[in-house]
Chain A
Amino acid sequence: MKIRILIVINLFLVFLVNFLFAQEESGATPLPGMRGTPANTPDISVIGDIRSRFSQRQSDPDRNKIFVKEIEIAMQGYLYPEVRSDVFFAFDREIDGTVNTELEEAYVTFLKLYGGINGKAGKMLVDFGKLNKLHPELWLFVERPPVLSGFFGDHGLNASGADIAYLLPLPFFLQASAGLWNAEPPAAGEFGLSGEFRSARLWSSFPINDTSELEIGASGAGGTVPDFPVSRDDVSLAGADITYKLWPATYARFIFQGEFLQLTRQIAAGEIKRNGFYGYAGYKFDRYWDAGARYDWAENALPLKEQKSGVSLIITDRLTEVTRARLQVSYNIESMNYEGFLQFIFGIGPHSHALR
């Protein structure tokens, strides 16, 4: 209780101190989330993901159907010039057709704490690797790579807690972040961290020249997973990621992105290690079209080892910054099955995300 009172007092001090130093910016374009009516409403936006799935597997319940995979409603705004909040609700369709309503993310970002530190508190996608923090509408492909769904679950590594990120005082971009979390148990049949866990990430980026940039990252997480019916297993995750981007012309871009993850799990019978990775290469030809390919290889996180690997080819037509149509054809090497997706992502309203 005392801690909560101190937090409230500090919040008051934050606003008071910053108010005393803030400058009026009359005539300037309001920031996203500060442009509301006199009622000062947040930026409200809707992102929809409509899909159709074509599969050789007769048992696939979504085979040859069109369905709404997810509707995301975002409310975003600045609480103060250095403090913003982001809230995302999601209506998400599971593979069995049920639609779950969830609070996908709801967090406050303190954009500047002491020195090069910023912090976030709330419920959010954990800063692990490159793809986990990205919302699906920002992905360059339809589905989460098997290594991430296998180790994090179908909704990614998502938990409540806080993290801080420190931009090191170096001549190049190097950010270190660390977080303490508490996750809900995973859905039945899924694998994922639950209860208290920790995460850390190092993310660096170097401009190679004016037209290309290389990002590298290393991530770690440690916690437990429920091992039904009675025990919990210690789990640690380590990841490495790399992203290379080249912009050869105004609208053109080549991207290579890859992540490798290793999971170590202490089960009753001993220790198991599982690995997985994906690699994506894509080229954006102009303002509207891009094409790419992804290779996946992943072991599962269960005591009985299984492996999945496959290749996907993807082509995307971007109608606007957020609205796009996509065709993906994937081949699963183990089952020797093809499946295809048609995806239409649409956006209404001013949707924004932090630098990722």
Chain B
Amino acid sequence: MPKINFLIFILLISIAFSRAPAADKLQPINVVAATPDLADLARTAGGDKVNVISLTKGAQDLHSIEPRPSMVMLVKRADLLIRIGMDLDLWMQSLIDASRNSKVMFGGPGYLDASANISKLEVPAGKVEASMGDIHIYGNPHYWLDPENSKIIIEAIVKKLCRLRPEFCEYFKTNQKDFNQKLDSANKRWKETLKPFAGSEIVTYHNSWPYFAKRFGFKLAGFIESKPGIPPAPAHIISLEDTMKKNKIKVILVEPYLDINTVKRIAADTGATALVLPPSVGAVHGVNSYIGLFDYNVDKIAEILKK
């Protein structure tokens, strides 16, 4: 098949000598982030030197995002792509593969997996299979819900931005320092607010809150889901309600997009309160920043636990 051989030959010649053109230093850095939380941190780090887009909204379940062809164009134009990683954003891979943007492919100068330096919780040992539910094999991926992890994330973002625009590196590092100071001050406030409730047991719908619980001293007493991603079986609900009544558990955390009716029924049976908490920036009205997310969540939990 000489025609096909020739076509392949021409294509491979092109691969060998094609590289991404150098970024235009006058244009802002185009940043595409998997989530609004990563987008907010990128905006904070980059200031007016970045254009940041999030591929998802805060009220979406990251486990079930459907990639769209129009998202390919956003990834194509990106100088920096920030992933959540830990298999929570597998849907992004088809977009990256279709984008033809080698800058943001694995190993490229614009590829950032924000989980890279995070101390991961609940990393499974031994064999992992579907009988355990929807287990993430690299550990629990909801790490951005520990505010201290945002320091690690923003440091990684600044490192990448400095590589892309070394002339603005000091500016990015100043932004990082400002953010860390604001975070430390907010952290003190949050810890003071939740200190009286340290050691309290809480129940959550999905196992999204272990990093948050560990940071603020809560104990996760159980989950509405029988296993991760598996809807609750009646026997499991009965057992969970028994635990909640016995231990006088006051609150059930549930994301805005999950089944609130089941949570309300369990809350009514046990005397607890169903508390809808945003897991991401923008998931509820008024939560417009990463620090704002914790301001909201900490105040809401404290309000319930005070009762």
Contact = CB atoms under 8 A, between A and B. Distances in A.
Interface stretch (B39-47, B90-98, B238-246): B90-98
Interface residues of A, number: 70
Interface of B: 1-9, 11-19, 57, 59-61, 64, 66-70, 72-73, 76, 83, 85-87, 90, 93-95, 97-102, 105-109, 111, 113, 115-117, 130, 134, 138, 229, 231, 257
A4 B14 CA distance: 16
Contacts of A213: 68-70
Contacts of A171: 73
A282 to B, nearest CB: 13
B70 A320 contact: no
Contact of A110 (B4, B11, B134): B11
A145 B271 CA distance: 53
Given A213-B70, A247-B66, A355-B94, A25 B11 contact: no
A84 B97 contact: yes
A208 to B, nearest CB: 10
A32 B86 CA distance: 11
A3 B5 CA distance: 7
Nearest to A180: B4
B11 A6 contact: no
Contacts of A25: 106-107, 111, 113, 116
A112 B138 contact: no
B106 A34 contact: yes
Contacts of A114: 14-15, 18
A207 B66 contact: no
B97 A111 contact: yes
Given A29-B87, A29-B115, A355-B72, A162 B2 contact: no
Contact of A81 (B69, B95, B105): B105
Contact of A7 (B8, B86, B101): B8
A352 B90 contact: yes
A253 B95 contact: no
Given A167-B100, A353-B94, A113 B70 contact: no
A73 to B, nearest CB: 17
Nearest first, the 3 closest Cβ-Cβ pairs linking A and B are: A205-B69, A27-B116, A28-B113
Interface string A111-122: 111111111010
Interface in A342-356: 348, 352-355
Contacts of A37: none
A40 interface: no
A28 B5 contact: no
